[in-house]
Structure 1
Amino acid sequence: MKIIDIYKEFKKLKKEITVIGRVRSNRQGKAVSFLVLDDGTYAKDLQVVYKPETIGYSQFSETRVGAIVSIKGMIIETPNRPQPFEISATEVILLDNCAEDYPLQKKEHTLEYLREIPQLRARAKTFQSTFRIRSSAAFAIHEYFIKQNFVYMNTPIITENDAEGAGEAFVVTTRKDAKYDQDFFGKKASLTVSGQLNAEAMAQSFNSVYTFGPTFRAENSHTNKHASEFWMVEPEIAFADLVKDIEIIEGLVKHVIDYVLKNNLEDLKYCESFYEEGLIERLQKMSNDNFEQVTYKEAIDILVEASKKINFEESNIKFGMDLSTEHERYICEKHFAKPVFVTNYPKEIKSFYMKLNDDGITVAATDLLVPGIGELVGGSQREDSYDKLIERCNELKINPEDLKWYIDLRKFGYFKSAGFGLGFERLVMYLTGAKNIRDVIPFPRTPKNLLF
């Protein structure tokens, strides 16, 4: 049996059971010995009691932390102890011992040290809880969209377009001379920075679609929330405006939180003890709160007023600036103390595909800012005017011919569309309280870091 199933059913299990797991500790005594076992399925370990007369007892004198063992025995309820039950073993078998230099001995290890051994760190309770929450969050995302009748789409990983126009894409090539016309695809290709443009085309056929896959940014950033390879959730909704976009964003985030609170409570308790005191209460509050909404101009006014009392690192606050993380966090953590949608950003600091508002200055865009993270989601209504989209490309020195297939969608019965991108790792950071994106990805890819 798996440990998670034993915890769920221990009151009903009246027969001898067998469990295989990894040794966390093995404390031997003359009359009775205690073994703590983990199999990765649950936040709580399994305590096993065995005595000298237990079958296989002689093998266990040299059983080390990290060894794989098989235990057969009966469940004994222990209502007056920290654990509700333990296994009284009738048989203990050492399946495979662990080397003495096993890096994860029974002591505290720093997160920095564990990042150097990602092939082993998932055996630590912190990362087991983190990655189980990550798995549940991914399932909840799919569940939400499928229930909303979205169609799941896989967009290309290798592409010829840079959807964000930032020029921070990884080139994919078989050549050393940059003669891309002679390359595998006959043109310059790169790893995708976003599946949005492709998803937008699919939404015009299916009404509502979403992608959920890896994206890549060749951005030389060393912050605690940037990675070179990360996962993005990118829905696209045809015939929708920014109001509908915001509705879908809030519904998705709350659904994921509710799912994790229901299905990963023990993991959240462990993350709360390790990462962030009050984590569960914070998530419950976010699930029950109505998210705030302000315009970018209103956000700037709030920051200008706050700067009279607070020394922001970026103190030259004015309309047209790109909000930094400290500004975003002040707005959602201090001023409103809840998640906040900021809307109608200046067009100069947003992407070419966002719909120009009637003022000709701002675009119908939104960022969802959440306490502890800052920006979690970025979305917009897409520009539906063929002429305005061409004009925006020219303004940003993007060759319209390179995006002809995308721009031409406006000529073939487009109407309007809206969508957003949610950084999955940032969501997992928010759910777990983790402070560094490197700790919510099994094998992180960051500048100068390609260990495996």
Structure 2
Amino acid sequence: MSICVPEPTRWAVARIRDGLSYATKRFFHEHGFCYVNTPNITTSDCEGAGEMFQVTTLISEAEKLEKNLIKNPPPSEIDVESAKLIIKQRGNDVAQLKSVKASKQEIGAAVAELQKAKENVLKMEERSKLQPGIPQKDGKIDYSQDFFARQAFLTVSGQLQLESYACALSTVYTFGPTFRAEKSHTSRHLAEFWMVESEMAFAELEHDMDCAEDYVKFMCQWLLDHCMEDMQFFADKIDKSCIDRITMSAKTPFARITYTEAVELLTEAVKNGKKFENHVEWGIDLASEHERYLTEVKFQKPVIVYNYPKEIKAFYMRLNDDSKTVAAMDVLVPKVGIILSTLNLYR
């Protein structure tokens, strides 16, 4: 008999995750998005999204083969040659029986023995080729022997599949598990997490920012309306200001600044004595400390930063008229940092 000890924090998190999952689907449904199931196992990558977990049966098959070869070693060349001599002998037996005009039954039995000897040699030759370890070809792993006959991975993003659906359905989204084999083992870099991804065809950056802000506000308001008991538990036991931040995010318009304006604000803070571990200059990828300064000190609310340098964003981001920045945006929130990012924009 096992006894499960209650863990209030875990159960509160489970209820909130359940509520937010439902709220996510409701938000996108009410805004005309079509839900798309994207694959968890894929042969495609997503640049810059993170290292990928590989899905393969080669290792388990190699382990099985190694155990099998230890228990039942493959035949040697001498064994194969000896088996071939038996074929020759069985062939001679058939010829001898035919020459003396033996009965069909006797000849048939001899032919069967000959066929059996040939099949045995084929099996021995095939088994003699078996080598322990992962199969290789030209010094590289031979994925043609794998389950999918090619490299396969756990998904880091459903972006590619969503883009193809958006071409036909205009507004689509997916919501499911995502896997990242990141080297950083911190609470901010999970190996598995659930992610919302959406694609809007014929949308401008302004539409993207509006949708992102509306989604965050909707989720925050949902917590206040439907999960207040659990939120109060977190406020009492873990973070006293969590309800205040959620309320502020739900009720207050987000600040919107360009990347250039963000760097100018950070540079001004440095001049006024603020010290950052990461150097501030135009062209850097904003660090977590920079994001938290903007959201917690400067604006004290969520901030949308947009129009990033093209060098630090993906190649497919739409190039702005200045030829230096791209139409990309990130939603930053206090205590966390980035929670939403642009995926793709076309002109």
TM-score normalised according to structure 2 size: 0.73
Q: What is aligned with 1:313?
A: 277
SS in structure 2 of the partner of residue 303 of structure 1: helix
When the two chains are superposed, the root-mean-square deviation of aligned CA atoms in Å is: 1.6
- Work out which of the residue numbers 51, 54, 58 in structure 2 matches 1:171: 54
**Contact 2:49/2:157 (CA < 8 Å) preserved in 1?**
no
Following the alignment from structure 1 to structure 2, what is the Cα–Cα distance between the partners of residues 98 and 153? Answer: 40
1:379 paired with 2:342, answer yes
Q: What is aligned with 1:290?
A: 253
Following the alignment from structure 2 to structure 1, what is the Cα–Cα distance between the partners of residues 186 and 308? Answer: 24
Q: Which amino acid aligns with 1:162?
A: D
Give the deviation of 1:352 after TM superposition. 2.4
Runs of at least 4 residues of structure 1 off by over 4 A? Answer: none
- Work out which of the residue numbers 203, 224, 227 in structure 1 matches 2:187: 224
Give the deviation of 1:163 after TM superposition. 1.2
Are the structure 2 counterparts of residues 167 and 140 from structure 1 closer, same or farther at C-alpha, using a change threshold of 3 Å? Answer: closer
Following the alignment from structure 1 to structure 2, what is the Cα–Cα distance between the partners of residues 98 and 163? Answer: 44
* Aligned counterparts, 1:189-228, within 5 A: 189-228=152-191
SS in structure 2 of the partner of residue 201 of structure 1: helix
1:63-106 Cα offsets, whole Å, 9 max, x none, are xxxxxxxxxxxxxxxxxxxxxxxxxxxxxxxxxx766xx7x4xx
Q: Percent identity?
A: 45
**Contact 2:199/2:344 (CA < 8 Å) preserved in 1?**
no
Q: How many residues align?
A: 266
Q: What is aligned with 2:26?
A: 143
Following the alignment from structure 1 to structure 2, what is the Cα–Cα distance between the partners of residues 266 and 206? Answer: 39
1:352 paired with 2:235, answer no
* Aligned counterparts, 1:16-27, within 5 A: none
Following the alignment from structure 2 to structure 1, what is the Cα–Cα distance between the partners of residues 216 and 339? Answer: 10
Following the alignment from structure 1 to structure 2, what is the Cα–Cα distance between the partners of residues 181 and 323? Answer: 42
* Aligned counterparts, 1:199-278, within 5 A: 199-278=162-241
**Contact 2:50/2:156 (CA < 8 Å) preserved in 1?**
no
Following the alignment from structure 2 to structure 1, what is the Cα–Cα distance between the partners of residues 187 and 263? Answer: 25
**Contact 1:164/1:194 (CA < 8 Å) preserved in 2?**
no
**Contact 2:53/2:154 (CA < 8 Å) preserved in 1?**
yes
SS in structure 1 of the partner of residue 280 of structure 2: coil
Give the deviation of 1:381 after TM superposition. 4.2
1:281 paired with 2:244, answer yes
Give the deviation of 1:167 after TM superposition. 5.9
Give the deviation of 1:160 after TM superposition. 1.8
Q: Which amino acid aligns with 1:245?
A: D
Compare CA radii of gyration and give the structure with the larger one.
Answer: 2
**Contact 2:176/2:196 (CA < 8 Å) preserved in 1?**
yes
Give the deviation of 1:297 after TM superposition. 0.9
**Contact 1:240/1:381 (CA < 8 Å) preserved in 2?**
no
- Work out which of the residue numbers 159, 164, 172 in structure 1 matches 2:42: 159
Give the deviation of 1:223 after TM superposition. 2.6
Q: What is aligned with 2:328?
A: 365
SS in structure 1 of the partner of residue 305 of structure 2: strand
Are the structure 2 counterparts of residues 230 and 154 from structure 1 closer, same or farther at C-alpha, using a change threshold of 3 Å? Answer: same
**Contact 1:364/1:380 (CA < 8 Å) preserved in 2?**
no
Following the alignment from structure 1 to structure 2, what is the Cα–Cα distance between the partners of residues 131 and 124? Answer: 11
Following the alignment from structure 2 to structure 1, what is the Cα–Cα distance between the partners of residues 182 and 282? Answer: 26
Could you say which structure has the higher strand fraction?
Answer: 1
1:351-382 Cα offsets, whole Å, 9 max, x none, are 22221222222111000000010111111542
Give the deviation of 1:184 after TM superposition. 2.3
Q: Which amino acid aligns with 2:39?
A: P
SS in structure 2 of the partner of residue 364 of structure 1: strand
Q: Which amino acid aligns with 2:24?
A: I
Give the deviation of 1:203 after TM superposition. 1.0
Q: Which amino acid aligns with 2:18?
A: S
Q: Which amino acid aligns with 1:289?
A: T
SS in structure 2 of the partner of residue 186 of structure 1: coil
Report which structure shows greater RCO (CA 8 Å, sep ≥6).
2
> Which segments of 5 or more consecutive residues in structure 1 lack a partner in the other structure?
1-96, 105-122, 385-415, 417-452
**Contact 1:354/1:381 (CA < 8 Å) preserved in 2?**
yes
**Contact 1:211/1:234 (CA < 8 Å) preserved in 2?**
yes
Following the alignment from structure 2 to structure 1, what is the Cα–Cα distance between the partners of residues 224 and 319? Answer: 39
Q: What is aligned with 1:299?
A: 262
Q: Which amino acid aligns with 1:249?
A: A
> Which segments of 5 or more consecutive residues in structure 2 lack a partner in the other structure?
59-133, 136-140
Following the alignment from structure 2 to structure 1, what is the Cα–Cα distance between the partners of residues 259 and 167? Answer: 29
Give the deviation of 1:183 after TM superposition. 2.3
Could you say which structure has the higher helix fraction?
Answer: 2
Following the alignment from structure 1 to structure 2, what is the Cα–Cα distance between the partners of residues 141 and 279? Answer: 20
Q: Which amino acid aligns with 1:138?
A: S
TM-score normalised according to structure 1 size: 0.57
Give the deviation of 1:278 after TM superposition. 2.5
Q: What is aligned with 1:113?
A: none
1:124 paired with 2:7, answer yes
Q: Which amino acid aligns with 2:303?
A: V
Q: Which amino acid aligns with 1:143?
A: R
